[in-house]
Amino acid sequence: MFYYAIKVLLTAGFIVFIGEVIKRSHFLGALLVSLPLTSLLVMAWLYIESGDAQKVAILSHSVFWLVLPSLALFLLLPLLIKSGVGFWPSLLLAMFATTACYGVMLAVLKQAGIEV
């Protein structure tokens, strides 16, 4: 139980820290958010728990392919907000579009014989 508490505290601490940085510097905050910190944390925890570098390699390969459709969110959200759509509707529309992009990407990857 102590191990899981440490994992939660460290992971949540990173998120809170980045949230505080964003309040002071949008650029530095965006830089930190754009880093694959979540992926790195998960990969580290996976390796610590399993000791299996192959599992980490498989995860990394899958993350690579699935990052691409996630970029739709970061393109659409500011465009929708700048066009006058409110924040919550913009976020919802960008999330739906991103979900659709994931579906398309998974279909393309399946067709190409790439497993994720």
Domain that holds residue 110: 53-116
In total, how many domains does the chain have?
1
Give the C-alpha distances (Å, rounded to integers) separating 91 from 24, 83, 110: 23, 13, 28
Instruction: Specify the pTM.
Output: 0.80
Q: Per residue in 29-64, pLDDT tens? A: 899 888 888 899 899 999 999 999 999 999 999 999
Task: Indicate whether 47 belongs to any domain.
Answer: no
Q: Per residue in 55-111, pLDDT tens? A: 999 999 999 999 999 999 999 999 999 999 999 999 999 999 999 999 999 999 999
Task: Indicate whether 26 belongs to any domain.
Answer: no
DSSP the chain: -HHHHHHHHHHHHHHHHHHHHHHH-HHHHHHHHHS-HHHHHHHHHHHHHH--HHHHHHHHHHHHHHHHHHHHHHHHHHHHHHTT--HHHHHHHHHHHHHHHHHHHHHHHHHHT---
Task: Indicate whether 46 belongs to any domain.
Answer: no
